[in-house]
Structure 1
Amino acid sequence: MTSITAPTAVIAEDEPVLARTLTRLLEQVWPELRIVGVADDGLRATELALELVPDVMFLDIKMPGRTGIEVAEVVADDWPADRAAPLVVFVTAYDHFAVPAFERAAVDYLLKPVTADRLQQSVARLKTRLAERAASPQAGDMAALMQRMQSLAAPEDTRSDAADRIKVIRAGVGNTVRMIPVADVICFEATEKYVNVVTQSGEALVRMSMRELIARIDSTDFIQVHRSLMVNATAILSATRDENGHYGLVMRGLERQLKVSRAFSHLFRPM
């Protein structure tokens, strides 16, 4: 359970002076908070978060290795299923980011340079959320956090345009372009730059991000089960849990099992 009397936090900030300033201000406005780790890049921030499982994360948006949004996505995907999700506060020097988007994706956002007065407001929000969560824990909140992170990072036009829906996917296989009906897709697997479209008859790549593709396909049958995996719910035959509590999906028309991350394991627990 999350501790209300001694909450913990990880700070991710690649500028040492700003990291020290935020640490000092937090010590002033929230003396009971224990800052258990400070990272100077996104990769280290991810490692510290998963190792220390803090209650709160202060994430700089622009960092080497991974952005703050990417850190939140990875942490959400690999977070222990029996621990409450960390509350995320974004810290940014760029006020051109859409404020409503940040408010949907995190408890708060702070503009640099952070002031004590503004930080005090953020701390008040965090304390309220921690108290509410202690009183009424929410299952699957890491999945919700991940989905909000991805909504925030998705291009605005793909999220708002409902007219340009894809019913048939044009996927490249060598010199051939396969025309794949969305209904025939078993799953979408994100790679570094592409999305692998898996069907019963084979696999093919599309030059599009997972966020953009999912936002545009003309179907509501696909559900997220991993940070890099969306599956066609109508093709799921069963979900099997191993000794470590991880689920594997048996899919119609696919020989291999698909891994479910801990953030989404609650989707497959018995009713």
Structure 2
Amino acid sequence: MKAIRTLIVDDEPLARRGLELRLARHADIEIVGEAGNGRHALQAISSLRPQLMFLDVQMPGIDGFGLLRMLPATQIPLTVFVTAYDHYALAAFAASALDYLLKPVDDVRLDESVERARARLAARKTEDHYERLLKIIGTLPAAHRSRIDGFLGDEDPGAGGRLTIKDGNRMVRIDVASIRWIDAAGDYMCIHAGDETHVLRGTMQQLERRLDPRKFARIHRSTIVNLERVDQMRPHVNGEYFLVLDSGHELKLSRSYRDKLKLFT
């Protein structure tokens, strides 16, 4: 039986301990780490590469949704939300997340979550999972959103070095040089710029037309990277590579985009 590498993220030590004890009943669940806040979770995911994560939604500082927005899409583990959220949000979780658990956690529901994780990993549908997670952001109440329902501005950012997006009735200008990478999932995109992540509606094709191809490259069907932010490149498997950014984040260069290797040499 192959172990499922699992990370527990919750700001309450007793809650983490409770999940750990309950998960011990499953022989194939290997707890590889725990994190008490979003910042430590970012580090743990990067170094431990868990396949499954139990994630508390409400945490001080970087909350559960903020953590997901800050991660490269290909590093997001299968995620089970642990929450005390209202029914509106639960409907979104049920439609898009692997699963959600209400506090206090019920053993039967926890077992169901573990079984869902087993089935998803067996079917190798993790890529579909992180696309669904990004779409969750678009269904959240306003207090838990970041730049939702923005549309790309019409102007070319090349001349002024800024990209304009529409956020409700106001325009937000992003310094193009500050963009590290962009993830796309369906009708949503996450623009990771500086310490912020801007989530907006749009397509990769729309955004690619507005970015300088000498500075921004498509390295995956759902990822664009700023070439000037890449510090290292290391081979992976089957012709794939990992790109290490100046922020420490790692992005996968898919073998379908191996022609882009020349841009990094």
Q: TM-score range by the shorter chain?
A: 0.5 to 0.7
Give aligned-pair identity as a percent.
Answer: 30
Alpha-carbon spacing, 1:146–1:117, altered in 2? closer, same or farther (3 Å) = closer
| Residue 149, structure 1, aligned to residue 133, structure 2 | yes
Alpha-carbon spacing, 1:195–1:67, altered in 2? closer, same or farther (3 Å) = farther
Q: Where do 1:114-153 residues align within 5 Å? A: 114-133=105-124, 141=127, 147-153=131-137
Q: 1:210 aligns with which of 190, 198, 211?
A: 198
1:222 aligned counterpart, secondary structure? helix
CA distance in 2, matches of 1:103, 1:188: 34
| Residue 86, structure 1, aligned to residue 74, structure 2 | no
1:97 to partner: Cα distance: 4.3
TM-score between both structures, scaled by the size of structure 1: 0.60
CA distance in 2, matches of 1:233, 1:264: 21
Alpha-carbon spacing, 1:195–1:77, altered in 2? closer, same or farther (3 Å) = farther
> Which residue of structure 1 lines up, in the alignment, with residue 7 of structure 2?
10
CA distance in 1, matches of 2:258, 2:132: 23
CA distance in 2, matches of 1:51, 1:19: 20
2:44 aligned counterpart, secondary structure? helix
CA distance in 2, matches of 1:5, 1:209: 35
Alpha-carbon spacing, 1:269–1:145, altered in 2? closer, same or farther (3 Å) = farther
1:99 aligned counterpart, secondary structure? helix
| Residue 232, structure 1, aligned to residue 202, structure 2 | no
Deviations along 1:122-158, whole A, 9 cap, x unmatched?
Answer: 111111111111xxx77xx2xx655543432236699
1:221 aligned counterpart, secondary structure? helix
2:11 aligned counterpart, secondary structure? coil
Contact residue 242 and residue 252 of structure 2 kept, 8 A? no
Could you tell me which runs of 5 or more consecutive residues in structure 2 were left unpaired when the two chains were aligned.
143-148, 166-171, 178-195, 218-226, 235-240, 261-265
2:111 aligned counterpart, secondary structure? helix
> Which residue of structure 2 lines up, in the alignment, with residue 54 of structure 1?
50
Letter of the structure 1 residue corresponding to residue 258 of structure 2: R
Alpha-carbon spacing, 1:148–1:106, altered in 2? closer, same or farther (3 Å) = same
CA distance in 1, matches of 2:164, 2:6: 32
CA distance in 2, matches of 1:90, 1:165: 26
Contact residue 38 and residue 63 of structure 2 kept, 8 A? yes
Alignment coverage as a number of residue pairs? 204
2:27 aligned counterpart, secondary structure? coil
- Comparing 16-25 with 98-107, greater Cα deviation is found at 98-107
CA distance in 2, matches of 1:17, 1:243: 40
Letter of the structure 2 residue corresponding to residue 153 of structure 1: I
1:94 to partner: Cα distance: 1.3
**CA root-mean-square deviation:** 4.0
TM-score between both structures, scaled by the size of structure 2: 0.61
Letter of the structure 1 residue corresponding to residue 24 of structure 2: E
1:88 to partner: Cα distance: 0.9
Q: Where do 1:61-76 residues align within 5 Å? A: 61-76=57-72
